[in-house]
Structure 1
Amino acid sequence: MRHERVCLELVGTVRGRLGEPSDDLADPVSLAGWLARRGLRPTEEPDAAHVTGFRALREASYRLLVAVTGGGAPRPDDVALVNRRAAHPAPAVSLVDTPGGGLRREVAVPTPEQALAVVARDLVDLVGGPDLVRLHQCEADVCGTFFVDTSRAGSRRWCSSATCGNRARVAAHRGRAAQP
């Protein structure tokens, strides 16, 4: 599932978190693929330590998001981990000439640590920014992922209407049909 925030995409790499979870970041190859699909293909192939680093940030992010959306206080060690990762230098950006005479923004290829910093900074921007009021956890029984509700009414219930929403509607229909 694609989110508009890379930090939420990282949290979403545990599918079915509240049921029978599966981890999309099982090894360095799956991490490399995940990074590439987000435009963060690193300068070097990720190794097991990078997988551990991304998983640690993912779990700290999840707990932090549960706390801030539930009105609780985040764990200090989770905040410290996010801040530590966000403090790493980001990939360099520059303006380059285009064939038509204009300029475009170009981002340098990141190291795995810089890619981790990009994700952590996105979380800092989300939690410390105006989108926090529209941040919700999916209401599907087993999902557990988060999304920013960009609907006009602000009443979205699921991370994806096509997957989690459809499952919930089908289950509700079956429940009604089973009643005498």
Structure 2
Amino acid sequence: MSGRAAETPNEPPGLTLVSSEGKPYRFDPGALCLELTTTGGPGAFARWEVLHEPADLLAWAGRSRLPAGLDLTVTAGELERARALRDAVLLLAADRAHDRPLRTAHLDVVNAAAAEPALVARIAPDGSRAWAPGATGTQLLSTVARDAIDLFTGPHAHRVRECGAHNCYLLFVDTSRPGRRRWCAMEHCGNREKVRAHRARQAPRKP
């Protein structure tokens, strides 16, 4: 499956997600690799799977923080490897967020993907950053895996968080200066948790 990643002009980094109530909200996980974790996952996360065919990975790339205009071809095998990499990154990020040891099996998946050639950047005639044509899904996955390595070994490795809402498991990098970000998005889980806490305070106490 080949295609060009759709451009999303003038939008801040991050993805537009839709809540269970059907309300869109903006979620910035702070890293390309964590954007991939919003597409589903292993076990209970499989119910959110959106990478069903190569076109779905193309669509994700077009919405991601990668510069737009990526001329990309994705095969069925690369799509399968994308899901495997996504699952490994999700579980590694969850382990990092909860101060658990990183598991070798998941690291092996990331390292194997990163060992492949990555996307090739170039300067477009208008001076903007672009991609060399003819990119493959393997190159895309290598770029994502290298981003994961940078995250898990870099200065923000201790800032990987899981949303503090009781029923949200979105993962993000807390890049705020005080390091106190708790929610995937204030307009989504942050507001819901504030309302829930307010109602709990207002509820009559049992004698």
Scaled by the length of structure 2, what TM-score is found? Answer: 0.73
List gaps (5 residues or longer) in structure 1. none
1:64 aligns with 2:92: yes
Work out the CA distance in 2 between the residues paired with 1:73 and 1:147. Answer: 18
Scaled by the length of structure 1, what TM-score is found? Answer: 0.83
Work out the CA distance in 2 between the residues paired with 1:128 and 1:35. Answer: 24
Secondary structure in 2 matching 1:10: helix
1:43 aligns with 2:67: no
Partner residue in 2 for 1:84: 112
Percentage of identical aligned residues:
36
Work out the CA distance in 1 between the residues paired with 2:84 and 2:171. Answer: 17
The farther-off stretch of 124-133 and 29-38 is 29-38
Work out the CA distance in 2 between the residues paired with 1:62 and 1:19. Answer: 10
Partner residue in 1 for 2:49: 23
Q: Does the CA-based 8 Å contact 1:19-1:143 persist in structure 2?
A: no
1:112 aligns with 2:137: yes
Structure 1 pair 104/154, CA: closer, same or farther in 2 (3 Å)? Answer: same
Structure 1 pair 134/172, CA: closer, same or farther in 2 (3 Å)? Answer: same
Q: Does the CA-based 8 Å contact 1:8-1:146 persist in structure 2?
A: yes
Q: Does the CA-based 8 Å contact 1:64-1:75 persist in structure 2?
A: yes
Partner residue in 1 for 2:13: none
Secondary structure in 1 matching 2:77: helix
Which 4+ residue blocks in structure 1 deviate beyond 6 angstroms?
A: 17-20
1:127 aligns with 2:152: yes
1:51-76 Cα deviation digits (max 9, x unpaired): 32111111111111122232222111
Which has a greater percent of helix? 1
Q: Which amino acid aligns with 2:95?
A: A
Partner residue in 2 for 1:7: 33
Structure 1 pair 174/27, CA: closer, same or farther in 2 (3 Å)? Answer: farther
Partner residue in 2 for 1:169: 194
Q: Which amino acid aligns with 2:59?
A: G
Structure 1 pair 27/164, CA: closer, same or farther in 2 (3 Å)? Answer: farther
List gaps (5 residues or longer) in structure 2. 1-26
